[in-house]
């Protein structure tokens, strides 16, 4: 197969084998005149960063049911959005989600611009997301390169330079293959190819539409690509999480600063995480050490949190945080690590 024929073969395959996703318009519907909603494309792309499609589906459904339009999301309370985001991780994305929605309303009347440069100027939108919105929502001939596309390009052209140094070469290959005809479907087709056939382990080369043109398959090294540099060992940080419950059932919580890890999220009071677990209690009381340690892994480090619990009277006052009434407290609104702390500590409070 000539390189010039790759695009047509891929689109034929995509028309028959595309994945069905709640934010996607099928090739048949697009051919009939339907167009993707830029809001749904943008929301899905932000959610999918560093996360799997399977993990995103339910979050996407809840978000779009609660905030069906970009204007509705822009008008939402920050805490409500952060609560719905809890569990997806990378909470800076949720903060940028709101900033971007509000910027689109303020600068563009609530409609995403179809210009790549204008998309890049919006908060939280980088080259990948701008390219995805432009290509998928507006059918602009922009190149979209995620991990799946990198893997497909590395194998198709037998690129043996390891990632991340190989990124520019892989992007160049993907750019050369990006067509002016149906570029949005082409972008999604390459991603689907990587997700369903050209998988990280045991690629199904025998049913790949690009099988005859794949250089890595011809060399017998498809399963070995892309190569990657060894990742550095993650350090371990330590901290203390103070979980206090007032006599009326209210929980002592604090909202973390907007900047930094878990920014803007609710959590249990404690000190900055470091080499040792040192933290001043948020109030003077008889703190109990139940011998519990919660472990969680972030992108760049492992975390060990020692849990301390306390039952406090109605007149308890804290130097940090506020007491949230029991009927307004939802553990699901907490980020994953803080929810782990709650799950560990709840037995101390009778499991309620």
Please identify every residue annotated as catalytic. 45
How far is Cα 222 from Cα 205, in angstroms, rounded to an integer?
A: 9
* Cis before 179 (ω within 30): no
b/e map of 229-246 (b: 16 or more CB within 10 Å)? eeeeeeeebbbbbbbbbb
CA end-to-end span of the chain, whole Å?
A: 64
Separation CA 7–CA 171 (nearest Å): 16
**In Å, how far are 99, 175, 209, 258, 296 from 94, measured between CA atoms?**
9, 30, 37, 11, 20
Strands 302-312 and 236-246: parallel
Token pair of 123, please? Answer: 């908060």
Residue whose tokens read 């492992």: 302
Q: How does DSSP assign 32-61, residue by residue?
A: TT----HHHHHHHHHHHTTS-HHHHHHHHH
At 67, list the tokens: 């905030």
Instruction: Give the tokens for residue 3.
Output: 């390189």
Phi-psi region at 178: left, alpha or beta (left = phi > 0; alpha = psi -120 to 50): beta
For the beta carbon of residue 287, count every other beta carbon within 10 angstroms: 16
Q: Is 350 exposed, middle or buried (0-12, 13-18, 19+ CB in 10 A)?
A: exposed
SS3 316: coil
Identify the bridge partners of residue 134 per DSSP, sorted by sequence position. Answer: none
């Amino acid at each position: 197969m000539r390189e010039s024929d790759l695009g047509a073969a891929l689109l034929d395959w995509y028309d028959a084998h595309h994945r069905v996703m709640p934010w996607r318009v099928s090739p048949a519907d697009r051919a009939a005149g339907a167009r993707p909603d830029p809001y749904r494309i943008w929301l899905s792309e932000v959610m999918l960063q560093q996360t799997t499609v399977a993990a995103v589906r339910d979050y996407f459904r809840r978000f779009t049911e609660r905030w069906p339009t970009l204007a509705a999301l822009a008008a939402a309370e920050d805490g409500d959005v952060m609560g719905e985001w809890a569990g997806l991780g990378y909470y800076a994305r949720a903060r940028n989600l709101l900033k971007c929605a509000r910027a689109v309303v303020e600068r563009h009347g609530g409609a995403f611009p179809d210009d790549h440069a204008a998309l890049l100027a919006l908060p939280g939108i980088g080259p990948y997301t701008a390219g995805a919105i432009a290509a998928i929502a507006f059918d602009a001939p922009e190149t979209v390169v995620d991990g799946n596309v990198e893997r497909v390009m590395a194998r198709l052209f037998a690129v043996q330079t390891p990632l991340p140094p190989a990124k520019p070469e892989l992007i160049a290959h993907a750019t050369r293959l990006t067509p002016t005809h149906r570029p949005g479907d082409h972008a999604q087709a390459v991603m689907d190819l990587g997700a369903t056939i050209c998988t990280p382990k045991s690629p199904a080369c025998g049913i790949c539409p690009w099988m005859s043109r794949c250089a890595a398959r011809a060399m017998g090294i498809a399963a070995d690509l892309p190569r990657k540099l060894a990742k550095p060992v993650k350090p371990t940080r330590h901290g203390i999480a103070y979980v206090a419950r007032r006599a009326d059932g209210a929980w002592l919580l604090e909202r973390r600063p907007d900047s930094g890890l878990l920014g803007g999220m609710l959590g249990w009071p404690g000190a900055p995480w470091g080499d040792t677990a040192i933290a001043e209690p948020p109030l003077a009381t008889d703190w109990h050490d139940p011998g519990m340690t919660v472990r969680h892994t972030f992108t760049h480090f492992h975390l060990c949190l020692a849990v301390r619990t306390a039952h406090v009277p109605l007149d308890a006052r804290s130097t940090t945080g506020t007491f949230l009434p029991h009927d307004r407290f939802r553990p699901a609104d907490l980020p994953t690590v803080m929810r782990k702390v709650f799950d560990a500590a709840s037995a101390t409070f009778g499991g309620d």
